Structure formats: structure tokens, C-alpha cells
Structure 1
Amino acid sequence: MIPVYSGLLPVIFLLTASQVSLAQEAVSLADRRELFVDEYLIDSLKGATLRMHTPVDEGQVLPFDLPWEGAFSAYVTILQDGDTFKAYYRGVPTAGKDGNSAEVTCYAESADGIHWVKPHLGIHEVGGDTNNNVILANEAPITHNFSPFIDTNPAAKPDERYKALGGTQKSGLVAFTSPDGIHWKRLQNEPVFRQGVFDSQNVSFWSENEGMYLCYFRSWTGKGYQGFRSVSRTTSRDFIHWTEPEPMGFGNTPYEHLYTQQTSPYFRAPHIYLAIGARFMPNRKVVSDEEAEKLGINPNYYNDCSDAILMSSRGGNRYYRHFMESFIRPGIGLQNWVSRSNYPALNLVQTGPAEMSLYVNQDYAQPSAHLRRYSMRLDGLASLSAGYAGGEMLTRPVTFTGNRLEVNFATSAAGEARVELLDESGNKLPGYSLEECRPLVGNEISKTVYWNSNPDVSELSGKEIRMRIRLSDADLFSFRFYSNAD
């Protein structure tokens, strides 16, 4: 029998060797950071669970208040380029057909991701004046959902460092490039991809992990506009020629209408694609006609409601959707329960030493339409969590590179976390047991694990091991093996 060490608490249960799954292929962790947004590395849980955390509402950061922006501004992308944060979004003051000529692509920037300005760019004339923050105009229907990214492909040309896709089903997705994210041109006149519905934000990026460009776009589970709003994926080596699309799978979770999916590599673990999207609830009406009139809501936009959800992917045509609950619930006040409000912007960005931010489109179809910032601790979307009684996780067999183990964790004053390293069969490795692990107590973004006075795990680098992580009133947000020379 393999004892489960409970630290300050009495032993609650025992895990027998027969309960350890032995015939599993080892996962190569290398020196990558691992999150707890899915069950990918988990062999078993005893008294522990995966827990999704709630972002903190930090308030409005960007009003859509210019004449060419307005109540129907949407589909925001946030990029961090060095010390500059950049926001891209559709501006259109009145409701109209998707891809109408009034739609423009607007731009704002920030030095900290918190305080934003709309520069006077002088690139396009809008309403008879070039004194505006518009980076793309007279390009309908591309400006309906123009969504850029910074191309990290080592082979990318300097004058094509930024890339973007935009368009509707009628036009197909059209590719644009830019050297600076402000001045844009078409990569070619013809669309690069046509096999989709495209009637929301369609996102693309260079995948370091898969070595190709990926595009996640709107599709439906049935023919035409039947079934559920869903997601499909296509890939490309050159951003011009794209593969036959594949519908994304969701495991055994039920289908829901996903209006946007916002799939992108997590900046601290780019092999994990996070998808913080908008769940749409058609005909779920919360706001009455009288209430809508008082709020000034467009009559066509309060018969439904939306919230934000969290999914992830590790490549291929599968999403992991461990959490069916809302990631961000609509806020207090009827203005938050309007159709197409609460749509997350694309990308998380780091806005402090221990903080990252995500942004959400709120008060849609209302005079008060704006972008709102939410904060979280780094890696803090979800955690391996256990209460006071204690719990543990046993991983699948893994290999790693490096000589140290770093964890991002939080405990109560009474709680703790410990890590044990086992061989591939689940036997304790001398010098790395729970009993020898120095208790992890506190709240740290980065803490090296010690066994007695020894943090060195280099003798295990490249070998198949398992990890047992024991928690009591604690959360583990992420871990990674690394070299202390990093």
C-alpha cells in the first residue's frame, strides 16, 4: 500500500499500488508550464478537484463613445507588443446588416493595459475628417470582424509581422498584413478561405507548438443556420493555403451556442490554447419592454442574454471543457442582460508582476457600450484545489527537463501543499517523498520545491516519473520544471 501523507492532518485514506494506472504513455513536459484548465495530466484525484476561479471586475477602461464607434462596437482583440498594449475593435454607431459600409476598425493603445487612449492617426477619412483612430475603413465586410495577431513565426517577413483575417460568408476570410499593427494592406485580393459561416470573430495565430498557422472560425452543428453555433478549425503553412476544415469536438459535454470562442495560446504556456468565449442563450429574455425603453436599448437586442465561458485545447480538433459553469456571470443591473453583451475580447495580457487581465464587451446596443477590464493572478484561471480535510492528485507518467520544480500556489494559514516524485510504477523515489518535502505555505506566483534542503531534481531529468501533489486548504495554479540557470 502507498501511504498518503497528510502533513498537519491525520491520514484520511490510503492509495493501493493496484489503483495506480501503469500502462500509460509518458507525457513529455520538457520545461513547459502546466495549468489546471483540463484533466490532461491527471491519473487520479482523491479528495481534490479542479476549481475554476472568478475574475475580479476592475471597471470600465474603454468607452465606445466616438461618432464612428457607438453602441454596436464589438469583436475586440487585445495585443501586447513590447511595452505597448493595443486594442482593435469594430466601430459602428447603428445596427445594420453584417458587413455594412458604416463599419470601421478602430484602434486604441495603452502603456499599462489599464489606461487607454485613442490616438488621432490621420489614416482614413471618416465623416469628412481624418482626425480619428480608424485603421481600416471602406473595406466592408472585412471591417465587420477584423481580428489581428502578432506573427511569432520565425520565418515571418518584417513587413508582415502583424497578420489578420476578416470577412463574412459572402466574402470569405480575407488576409491582411502590417509591419506595425496600424498600417494595413491586403495580402492578396482574393480571400484565403471560404468554407465557413464567419458571422462572428474568427481568430488566427501562429502555433509554436504545432508549427503552423491555425484559424478557429464560426460554424454550425447542422446544415446552414440549424443546430448550435459552434467552432471549426483549419490550418496553414503560409497563411494563404488552408486545409479542409474540421469541426471542433467538445468531448461528452452538451452543445451550447458559442457566439465567439476567442481561442489563442496562453502567453505563459503557449502549448495550451485558452478559449474564453461567449455563450449565447437565444430567446432567454430577462429585460422587459418597459425596462429596455428606460435603458435606451435597441429594440432588437434584448430578447437574449450571454455570459463568458472557459475552454482550452492542446491542438487538434478537440476542446477540453471541464467547466460548464459560467466563467464570468453577467453583472448586477439589467444593462448586463442584453443580447450580445458580456462578450470577451481576444487574449489575456500581463498587467502587473502577479496580475493578468482580460477584457469584456459590455452594455451592447446601449448608449453606455464599453470595454471592461477583469483581473486575475497569473495562471489563475483554474487550480488543483482541496479543502481543509485534504486531497491529492496523482499524475500520469511524465518526463521533464531541468533541475528544479517551480509552483504557483496559495494556502490558508493552516493549509499547505507538498509534492512527491514517484517512479513510473508509483513507487516512492528516495529523497523525494511527501515526508521529505518542505511544506509549501503561503501565496506565491513562483516558488521552488525543496525536499529537506535539496531542490535538485536533475538526476530524474529525462526519466519517466509520476508526481503526487498533496493539498490541504490550498490551491495549485501551475507548475513547471526548469533549470536554475534560466
Structure 2
Amino acid sequence: MDPTQKQLLCDDALVADKRGFELMLNPALRAETPALQPEMPWEQASVSWPSVVCNEGGEHQMWYRADPGDGNGSLLCYATSRDGISWERPELGVVEFQGNKDNNIVARHLQGGVFVDSHDAPERRYKFIGEGQTEWGITSYYGGGARFRYFKEDLPTWNYLGVVGAHSPDGIRWTEYDEPVMPWYTDTQNVAFWDDRLQRYVAYVRWNEHLRVEDGKQVGSFDYRAIGRAEAKDFSAFPAPVKVHEPDFSRVEEEDQAGGGLYNTGAMKYPYAENVYLIFPSAYHHTSDTLDVHLATSRDGVDFTRWYEPFARLGTAGRFDARGLYVGPGMIAAGDEVYSYYAGVPRSHDDVETQAPGAIGRLRMRRDGFVAQDAGAEEGRLTTVPFQMPGGRLEVDMDASARGWLQVEILDATGHALWGYARAESDRLMFNDLAQTASWRGEPDLSALRGRKVRLRFSGQFARLYGFRFSGA
């Protein structure tokens, strides 16, 4: 643990002991209006599958899937924004559509996720992972299960596309890899990124339970969707994935995911705190044939703890997102908030007859505020694991609103309060602040404690504690 980086208390990994503090999910807020909706001729059937890259101080970037509805496949399109709210479609002159290149299309038949790769050479700065038209694919031989409920007639095989990749110097001009980047099937928005902790590329893809790949063929049944993960030194050569997360059918909240399951992930290594991984799977509830968004957190990108209540709920009747939400990769920082983007659909999952194009929506979240350690009417105490004090000043991310408060003690490694930093000397922290400076009898400077092994003990009432960091060390 590096205490000079933001440490989120979104789980109990950094907690040695607590009483009166309980983990609490902070659901996202849906923006009232879409970020993008079908407006151009090449978008008439739908816009979906957004990926965003945050460029603080510059133009944010979005790639998304557009379907013109002409039977010639989908398109990868590009948009920019200064604020993450209003998006523009630049005329790029790259791909011809209906005899004209005055459009924002960057590729045909590529649909998936885009990320910036700071590890690779500048000519391959942008990476794409997804599904594309390729002769390589996986044939699923009928073995029963949910996949084949879509077809009224007997269907001996089902052909999936393969997982393909591409690279670009600017996110506009793309070069596809000659071969698929993973020996696997796909039918969702794949996600990949360079993990600076592992020094490897990591990819999150779809996993169909009870299907397996043998000699280039997918055999078995298909009972529900889960999440697979793979990692590689070479982006163009991922191995087959390993299942890392799936529905918990022992819980009443998950009982109706048989035949459904967990769709795409929007997976990321959260950029504004140390060693926090997030996924936003769409929970496909088979009985209602709709999908809302869940949140799961992890410290290593493998073992995830998921909340079983919606992180983003369906929109109200008549909205573009009334029947399904699918979060895409990437996140944009906007002051004390962060934005994620999702594909919203107004029709149920299996309703392929209704012509109702969806749109791309925006989720608003408190920066670093996905999950809180929450203290209510009973005064709570929370003690961290020990760490080496870096000095500087302690900044506390908290929301006590108008009623609550927090105090911070500094303890030695054995749990005894250090002289001058006990609760009696701790000044109360109040209100709502992402970085409120703690002090003891008015003094915030902790340079005298630099190098000591310490713990923090938070006490509070009617307050949400999100995290902490030491600045100015």
C-alpha cells in the first residue's frame, strides 16, 4: 500500500477492525438526456457499445458501434467532447458511406472496445479488441441449453465470430491484426487494457458456461453467461480465458439468471486510486428478459465482490433505456464526478421484431464514491491495517452532509494512540468533501511521524467514509 496514492475503502481489504461502519453501495445516476442518439443515416438502426478515453484538459474521445440497418453490417464511429456531456461527430474522410466520406466512421465490421496503450509504440498507441468478420470462428454444435431457445426450428450449429484486434496511431486510422488475438468466441463488448501493476495486457470476454473449445469447435450446452479473463505480454496473442465471475444461483436475486447470466463488463483498473478494479456487468434476468447494471470491485482484477442490487437501474417506461443497459469501457473525470457511458435499449433482450433504436446514455457518479463505509446513528469506529507514515497531510474523502461528523486518530502498529494524535486532540471533520484535511488541535502537518508504522482509526456518526490519502509528503 502506497498511502500517498488514493486508498479507497470500497471493501474491507484495508480494514483491520470496525464496529458501526457498514459497506454501502452508492448507485449511479442516469443523465436525463442521451449522450448520443441515432441522428445520421449510418446510425438509423442503433448506436451502442461506447468506449471512452478521458483527456483531461483536452478533447475526450468516444468510439461507438453504429448500425445503418442496411444489412451490410455495423460500423465503428468516432466522437469528441470537451465536457463529456455534449458530443460532436467530426467529418473524418476515412470510410465511404453511400458514396460520401464526410462522416465520422473509422472502420467497417469492427465492434468492441478501445483503449489507449501507453506501453506500446506511438504508431500503436490505440488498441481495439472486439468481434469482426473473419473466417476464423467457433461453431457451436447443438447440445441443448439456453442458446438455442431463440430458434423455432432445429438448429445443428451456431457460428460465433472470433475475438479480433486492431491498432492505430490516432484512434481514427486502424490496422487489423492478421489473426484473431484470442482463440475464443465472442458475442458481447470485449474489453482490454494494459495493467501497470501486472505489466501485462488483460482482457475480459464472454464465457458461456458448459461450452468448451475443442479443435477449433465449440461443443457442449449453453446454460448461462459468465465473465472470462485472460492476460498476455503480447496484445496480439492472448491465451484462452479463465472464468473469473458468474451468477450466484444460491441467492434469490440471481435465481432468474439461468439462461441469462452476466453480460459485458466495462472492466477497468480504476485510474484515480491504487489497486482498485471495477466491472459493471449487465445482469440478464431471464424471467423479465431485461438487463440492469451491477457493480463488482476487486484488488487484483480476478477475485471480484459484486453487489446484488442494481448499480444503474432501468429507465422509466418510454425512455431509450427502459429495458436494458450495457456499460462500455472507459471513464471521464469531470470535477468531483466521473462519467461512464452505456448502451440503452427500449426493447427486451429477445424481442428481435420491434424496431426501436436505443441510444448511448451517461452515468454520473461521485468521484471515488462507488462504495462507502457508512456510519449511522450508532457511532462507528474503523481501524486500518498498518502502513508506513509518509508525512505530509492526511486528506479524507467523506460525506457527512449537514448532520454527521468524523474524527481521525493515529495509532502505533499495536493499536495505541500516539501522543498528540488521540481522539481528544482530533478536530472534527464535517460536511461533504473529496479531500478534507485532518488536523489535531489545528495542526495538520504530520512530518514528525514520517517513517513510523501507524494505523488510522476513524470514528464517526451519520457519515460516509470513502477513502484517504497523504499529500505533500
For the superposition of Structure 1 and Structure 2, which TM-score range results when normalised by the shorter chain? 0.7 to 0.9
- Give the letter for the 2:404 counterpart: G
Deviation string, structure 1 residues 254-290 (Cα, Å, up to 9, x no partner):
5651111111122212521211221111241xxxxxx
* Residues 362 and 372, structure 1, Cα contact 8 Å, conserved in 2: yes
- Give the letter for the 1:245 counterpart: P
Structure 1 portions without partners, runs of 5+: 1-27, 285-303
Deviation string, structure 1 residues 301-322 (Cα, Å, up to 9, x no partner):
xxx111111112222521122x
* Residues 261 and 275, structure 1, Cα contact 8 Å, conserved in 2: yes
2:105 maps to 1:121 = no
* Residues 251 and 318, structure 1, Cα contact 8 Å, conserved in 2: no
| Displacement after TM superposition at 1:161 (Å) | 1.0
* Residues 251 and 319, structure 1, Cα contact 8 Å, conserved in 2: no
Distance 1:58 1:192 in 2: 35
Distance 1:185 1:458, change over 3 A: same
Distance 1:210 1:57 in 2: 33
Alignment of 1:104-253 (within 5 A): 104-137=75-108, 140=109, 143=110, 145-153=111-119, 156-167=120-131, 169-170=137-138, 171-186=161-176, 188-194=177-183, 196-223=184-211, 224=220, 226-249=222-245
Deviation string, structure 1 residues 290-349 (Cα, Å, up to 9, x no partner):
xxxxxxxxxxxxxx111111112222521122x21100111221556765x211222221
| Displacement after TM superposition at 1:249 (Å) | 4.2
- Give the letter for the 1:359 counterpart: Y
Seq. identity, %? 30
Q: 2:442 aligns with which of 440, 453, 456?
A: 453
Secondary structure (helix, strand or coil) at the match of 1:29 reads coil
Distance 1:36 1:198, change over 3 A: farther
* Residues 72 and 364, structure 1, Cα contact 8 Å, conserved in 2: no
Distance 1:417 1:64, change over 3 A: same
* Correspondence for 1:85: 60
2:386 maps to 1:397 = yes
2:298 maps to 1:310 = no
Secondary structure (helix, strand or coil) at the match of 2:123 reads helix
2:432 maps to 1:443 = yes
Distance 2:128 2:450 in 1: 40
Alignment of 1:28-39 (within 5 A): 28-39=1-12
- Give the letter for the 1:166 counterpart: G
| Displacement after TM superposition at 1:34 (Å) | 1.6
Q: 1:54 aligns with which of 5, 24, 27?
A: 27
Alignment of 1:246-325 (within 5 A): 246-249=242-245, 257-269=261-273, 271-284=275-288, 304-321=289-306, 323-325=307-309
Structure 2 portions without partners, runs of 5+: 139-160, 212-219, 348-354
Distance 1:348 1:92 in 2: 24
- Give the letter for the 1:348 counterpart: M
* Residues 390 and 472, structure 1, Cα contact 8 Å, conserved in 2: yes
- Give the letter for the 1:80 counterpart: C
Distance 1:193 1:463 in 2: 47
| Displacement after TM superposition at 1:402 (Å) | 4.2
Distance 1:239 1:410, change over 3 A: same
| Displacement after TM superposition at 1:151 (Å) | 0.9
TM-score (norm 1): 0.80
Distance 1:279 1:70 in 2: 27
Distance 1:450 1:250, change over 3 A: farther
Aligned Cα RMSD in Å? 2.4
- Give the letter for the 1:123 counterpart: V
- Give the letter for the 1:280 counterpart: Y
Alignment of 1:12-27 (within 5 A): none
Secondary structure (helix, strand or coil) at the match of 1:414 reads coil
Deviation string, structure 1 residues 187-224 (Cα, Å, up to 9, x no partner):
x3111211x33210110111122221111111133225
Secondary structure (helix, strand or coil) at the match of 2:186 reads coil
Distance 1:342 1:184 in 2: 28
* Correspondence for 2:329: 346
| Displacement after TM superposition at 1:105 (Å) | 0.6
Deviation string, structure 1 residues 398-420 (Cα, Å, up to 9, x no partner):
33534221112121333211112
Q: 1:331 aligns with which of 297, 312, 315?
A: 315
| Displacement after TM superposition at 1:71 (Å) | 3.9
